[in-house]
Amino acid sequence: MATETPRWGEERIANELLLKLGIQVSPRTVRKYMPRHPPGRSRGDLRWSTFLRLHAQGFLACDFCLAITASLRMLYVFVVIEHGSRRLLHCNVTAHPTAAWTLQQLREVIGIDHRYRFLLHDRDSIFSRDLDSSVHALGIAVLRSAPHCPKMNALCERVIGTLRRECLDWLIPLSESHLRRLLKDWVQHYNRGRPHMALGPGIPDPAPTFFPKPCSRHRRGESYAVQAEPILCGLHHEYHFVAA
């Protein structure tokens, strides 16, 4: 209880145990087993991780990463991810990133009738004041991560690392259009076919699938077979049932 709701004190937890679960303990006993808080921060302060968890359904994060083509041309990949569902909402490529181009990408993601409340990005100069003002005009509060604190935007940093480990480190794009095609296939796999441990495990945007009723815990019916669908020319695979 103390970990899931850090703002609760020993009195509140003792009352919760008594009235909801019928367990009578002293608040002093509860305080004995409550986790210790670091010095300099009171128990009532809202941690950054707690804030992200509470507002995950309306939280967007964005960032850039670099990709190198076979001709040693540098291309910039812009990604936007939704915290709550872990869904990659947008991914695009440009050779010359500007604030105007970035703002247009965010407008395509946000749209008019949106449910988002916060946008998180780092302090790169491409995220100018005019860009933040335009995003704020769409009804979204802009949050800038602290200097030299990539963990504040850890989810977006993580998905960029996943993009490198599962795609860009193994495939060399020949051109800008080729990189777009690779990213399109990988983003579709990331959203619809790749399991995410943070979701339980789960899939951000699972495709409708048919699961035949198993005859046991470890076996399926003999009239079905498992088919492997190659992704990115066999770099990854997705598995599903088909008629035998």
C-alpha neighbours within 13 Å on the C-beta side of residue 215:
6
How does the average pLDDT of the chain come out, rounded? 86
CA separation for the pair 45, 42 (Å, rounded):
6
Each residue of 95-118: pLDDT tens digit?
Answer: 999 999 999 999 999 887 778 888
Q: What pLDDT, on the 0 to 100 scale, is given for residue 181?
A: 96
Each residue of 177-232: pLDDT tens digit?
Answer: 999 999 999 999 999 988 888 788 888 888 776 666 666 666 665 677 778 889 99
Q: Are 84 and 60 in contact (CB under 8 A)?
A: no
- 176 φ, ψ (degrees, to nearest 5): -65, -40
Query: What sign does the dihedral 69-154-200-57 (CA atoms) show?
Result: negative
Query: What sign does the dihedral 159-130-51-59 (CA atoms) show?
Result: negative
The model carries a pTM of 0.76
Please give the angle made by the CA atoms of 53, 57 and 63, to the nearest 5 degrees. Answer: 85
Residue predicted with more confidence, 209 or 241: 241
- The yes-or-no verdict on residue 21 having pLDDT over 80 is yes
Domains of the chain, each with CATH number or no CATH: 10-45 (no CATH), 52-199 (3.30.420.10), 209-244 (no CATH)
Q: What pLDDT, on the 0 to 100 scale, is given for residue 191?
A: 94
Q: What pLDDT, on the 0 to 100 scale, is given for residue 22?
A: 85
Quick check: bond before 6 cis, omega within 30?
no
- The yes-or-no verdict on residue 40 having pLDDT over 80 is no
Is beta strand 224-231 parallel, antiparallel or unpaired with respect to 236-243? antiparallel
pLDDT band at 16 (very low <50, low <70, confident <90, very high): confident
- 71 φ, ψ (degrees, to nearest 5): -90, 15
